[in-house]
Amino acid sequence: MSRDDSAAGAGTAAAAGVAPPDGVLIRLEDLGKVYRMGAEEVHALRDVTLEIRRNEYVAIVGPSGSGKSTLMNLIGCLDTPSSGRYFLNGQMVSGLEDDDLARIRNREIGFVFQTFNLLARASALRNVELPLIYRGIPSEERRERALRALEQVGLSDRRKHRPSELSGGQRQRVAIARALVTEPSLLLADEPTGNLDSTTSAEIMDLFDRLHAMGNAIIVVTHERDIALHARRVIALHDGRVARDGPVGLVFGEGGGR
């Protein structure tokens, strides 16, 4: 891995004024990811350079194997790049060690997954409280914030229900409330409607629209055009490179049938 230059001064780089200008949430510079499988190298991402601002709603699209999950794992601080630099909120996070990455992840990013990833034995309220428990937030404040997050997704009346007592769409809304409860800089959703029927998918995407209108930055990874059409900007990957990047109408407009 060639992250020699980044590991040393990660914390001081931002302090030294290298931080990107205000309004920029994510800055990727020549980001690359190589997976090594024995003697073979898989270049999952190559030379990805882009910026995402604080108020953006972005869809990352592309065929299977194009690098969507790899890019989302890097942006979400779940993995580290093989080359290039990643700034999140002005802080260089490429090259950070696992503990520091985990701390940044907890503070900055709310994740929404295709499979919801809720605790089966816990109520909706308890599920939403969990990230605050990990942070050591006192129980009263925790409960208050979790209730507010459930209200945001329209599920106040289901707070005592367990996941098995909720529909798929409701489960995903609980997961979204859990992602929101820490007030992250960024909501990162990986195929959030992949396990939902089309009506329920539309409800979830309406909710994302509202959350974006409220000022949340959202990145949705999807292979579905209908889902991507909710975003304002589309980044299309092909063979690990950014093939297109622009307003949703432009990216899908030109010969953009299904």
Catalog residues that contact ligand ADP under the rule CB under 6 A.
Answer: 35, 37, 42, 44, 62, 64-70
Least distance from ligand ADP to the Cβ atom of residue 126, Å: 31
**For ligand ADP, the closer CB: 75 or 207:** 75
Minimum CB separation of residue 46 from Mg ion in Å reads 17
Rounded distance between C-alpha atoms, residue 154 and residue 193, angstroms: 18
**In this structure, what token pair is assigned to residue 242?**
């950014």
Taking CB within 5 to 8 Å according to partner kind, which of ligand ADP, Mg ion, none is near residue 70? ligand ADP
- Binding letters toward Mg ion, positions 45-84, x by CB under 5 A: -----------------------xx---------------
Which CB sits closer to ligand ADP, 137 or 236?
Answer: 236
Is residue 114 involved in binding Mg ion (CB under 5 A)?
A: no
Q: How many CB atoms lie within 10 A of CB 52?
A: 20
Q: Which residues of the shown chain bind Mg ion in the complex (CB under 5 A)?
A: 68-69
